[in-house]
Amino acid sequence: MNLRNKTLLAIASTLAGLLGVLHLVASTIVLDGFTQLEKKEAERNVERVRGAFFNYLDEYKAIHYERAVWDETYAFITNPNAQYPNRNLRPEDFHLLKTNFILLLNLKGELVLGKGYDFQDQKAIPIPPQLLQRLGENGKNPNFQGILLIPGSDPMAMAAGPVLPTEGKGTPGGTLIFARYLDTGEIDRLEKLTHLSITTYRLDNPQLDAKLQQITNQINRTVTQPILVQALNRETMAGYTVLPDIHNQPALLLQIDLPREIYRQGQKSLGYLIVSILGVGILFIPLSLLLLEKILLQRLSSLCVGVRHITNFTQLSERVSVMGEDELSSLAVSINTMLAALESKAHECSLERQKVDRLLLNILPEQIADRLKHEEQTIADSFAEVTVLFADIVGFTQLATQIPPTELVALLNEIFSRFDLLAEKYNLEKIKTIGDAYMIVSGIPIPRPDHAQAMADMALEMQQTIGQFNAETGSSFNIRIGIHTGPVVAGVIGIKKFIYDLWGDTVNIASRMESHGLPGCIQVTEATYQQLKHQYLFEKRGNIHVKGKGEMTVYLLQASIKTDQVQLCSTQ
């Protein structure tokens, strides 16, 4: 058998074997990867629906709060009069508040005022007796938000809380309760908001389908994520989640139907890949035979050996041997020219890659930058416990109106550059600056057990740095610092000018600690204090009212027990 036939047989056999292996691998690995990606995307969409629903309840609670914490409501509940319902329980008020029922209870839990309104029929409706009966199960002065199921009617979104004066302080005068039907119109609004198909099932329905009941039981047994995803068929996937009622018992089962676009795309991509390789293989065989007929096998073999050696060992500085003065020698010269160009370009690329890497590491943590280099599509990680710090330069906004912008930026750059050096010193992660505010976190992207201690040392040295800066420049700057410890979600936002950022209640509380703090002081929450109380000196400031959180106990960090330098900061 001549070389041409041997080559043809070898290429055909290799191509057939490659196609078989590729099909097997792609079917078991690639499609499985698409299936897992599809599942994650479905879970993300279900979580988005859950988030939209809880945001819906939060918005309803916020509307309720505006009426509950109001001098006019407080005056009425403590001294009922006829003017209040005439002014505040009109049909247009029900439309404005987007609520079907408004109830006012005194401190004994007795109904003082209650009205209902039907948006569709635009008329007053009575308060269902079951509603009052179910509310009585929550005590005389309930305070909650959530879902309530009443037999014979649509589910209700509920919001209840104490009636207080406008400033939000003082002795409650009673309880204000809002109730809104979760009818098809409200579900349609959530569908438009999320662009998803949503179906709700009442879990108190004795005729609930057995399969749906089984799904509900399976979700209720889930500890981490109350979400279940199942493929209904080759075209549709369904995500399920359970929403609790005001007693934290399962109330509604949500079914979100999703098209299996990712799975179909995976199958299509697999087909395209196999067809493409087959087409390339069919073209490759005659081209290979044509080359064999027109060249010298020995010189070709020598040239191939030289090229293979350079390829295997990636030695771009080496060159292939040049023999003769024909087309093959010209090819060898061209290869050498290409190798020289590649060597030069590789060196240039290496230098540019180093510049890019340095620039990227100035924007993102090293671990996150590595994940981006590997083309990870979604970077979002949960951290069970980190410590977040917000710092703000007191009086800097007023100073901005008094000095030129270039001088202002130079001052801010000098201060924040010193803070950046401290962040490197304590191995902390700077997140961003917003105006004259500085945000930093300890414990990400690599968790560390001493995240709170490192942040405390950073905060104390930030105050020392401001003092040194004032002494050097004759300035009188002061900073206000807030710290909180808790869970966060961290990730990369966007595809252009992206940023590594944090989300979660921990971030909001840390910001509130700073904005509610004292100039020249480091204010920390109870969670941070418990982490540091045996290693640092604190002064208990007491309870302060924090917007969105209510009363919180806070402390002022004074110094480390290991040092004699005490930060003179007091609430006195």
Q: What is the CATH number of the domain that holds 538?
A: 3.30.70.1230
Task: Write the DSSP assignment of 288-326 as a string of letters.
Answer: HHHHHHHS-HHHHHHHHHHHHHHHHHT-TT------SSS
| Residue listed under structure tokens 């920390």 | 524
Whether the Cβ atoms of residue 566 and residue 537 lie closer than 8 Å to each other: yes
Residues 6+ apart with CB under 8 A from 139: 109
Q: What percent of the chain has pLDDT over 70?
A: 81
- Residue 322 is assigned to a structural domain of this protein: no
Domain boundary among 203, 226, 259: 259
Pairing of strands 499-503, 478-493: antiparallel
d(CA 442, CA 437): 17
Nearest residue to 459 via CA among 522, 379, 392: 522
d(CA 504, CA 488): 5
d(CA 530, CA 509): 16
Angle between the N-to-C axes of helices 261-294 and 31-68, in degrees from 0 to 180, rounded to the nearest 10: 150
Domain shared by 213 and 76, yes or no: yes
| Residue listed under structure tokens 């108190």 | 204
| pTM exceeding 0.75 | no
d(CA 69, CA 189): 28
Whether the Cβ atoms of residue 554 and residue 513 lie closer than 8 Å to each other: yes
Domain boundary among 259, 277, 310: 259
Reported as a single tens digit per residue, the pLDDT across 410-461 is 989 999 999 999 999 999 999 999 989 999 999 999 999 999 999 999 999 9
Domain boundary among 226, 259, 292: 259
Pairing of strands 499-503, 437-442: unpaired
- Residue 420 is assigned to a structural domain of this protein: yes
Residue 243 CB-density burial (10 A; 0-12 exposed, 13-18 middle, 19+ buried): buried
Q: CA distances (Å), 9 to each of 6, 13, 15, 16, 18, in order?
A: 5, 6, 10, 11, 14
Give the 3-state DSSP-derived string for 325-390, with helices as H, strands as E and coil as C.
Answer: CCHHHHHHHHHHHHHHHHHHHHHHHHHHHHHHHHHHHHHCCHHHHHHHHCCCCCCEEEEEEEEEEE
DSSP conformational letter for 126 = P
> Which helix (H) or strand (E) element contains residue 510?
helix 505-515
CATH number at residue 71: 3.30.450.220
Task: Give the long-range contacts of residues 160-163, CB within 8 A, separation 24 or more.
Answer: 160/64, 160/135, 161/61, 161/64, 161/65, 161/68, 162/68, 163/68, 163/69, 163/73, 163/74, 163/77, 163/104
Reported as a single tens digit per residue, the pLDDT across 123-160 is 999 998 888 887 776 666 678 888 999 888 889 999 99
- Residue 202 is assigned to a structural domain of this protein: yes
Domain shared by 182 and 47, yes or no: yes
Whether the Cβ atoms of residue 491 and residue 504 lie closer than 8 Å to each other: no
- Residue 236 is assigned to a structural domain of this protein: yes
Nearest residue to 137 via CA among 247, 28, 211: 247
- Residue 145 is assigned to a structural domain of this protein: yes
CA dihedral 45, 46, 48, 50 (to 10 degrees): 170
- Residue 111 is assigned to a structural domain of this protein: yes
> Which helix (H) or strand (E) element contains residue 230?
strand 227-231
Domain with 211, as residue range(s), is 12-259
| Domain count within the chain | 2
- Residue 292 is assigned to a structural domain of this protein: no
- List residues bridging with 177 in a β-sheet: 103, 160
Enter the tokens of residue 333: 């010269």
Tens-level pLDDT at each residue, the chain (572 residues):
654 567 667 766 776 777 677 667 766 776 677 788 888 988 899 899 989 898 989 998 999 999 999 999 999 999 999 899 999 999 999 999 999 999 999 988 888 999 999 988 899 999 988 888 877 766 666 788 889 998 888 899 999 999 999 888 889 999 999 999 998 888 888 889 888 899 999 998 889 898 999 999 988 888 777 899 988 888 889 999 999 888 888 989 999 998 888 877 877 877 777 777 777 767 766 776 676 566 555 656 666 666 666 767 666 666 666 666 666 667 767 777 777 777 777 777 777 776 665 665 556 777 777 777 666 667 878 999 999 999 999 988 777 778 888 888 898 999 999 999 999 999 999 999 998 999 999 999 999 999 999 999 999 999 999 999 999 988 888 999 999 999 999 988 777 767 788 999 999 999 999 999 999 999 999 999 999 999 999 999 999 999 888 999 999 999 999 765 545 565 55
Whether the Cβ atoms of residue 254 and residue 198 lie closer than 8 Å to each other: yes
d(CA 343, CA 133): 83
Whether the Cβ atoms of residue 155 and residue 252 lie closer than 8 Å to each other: yes
d(CA 189, CA 320): 70
- Residue 494 is assigned to a structural domain of this protein: yes
DSSP conformational letter for 428 = -
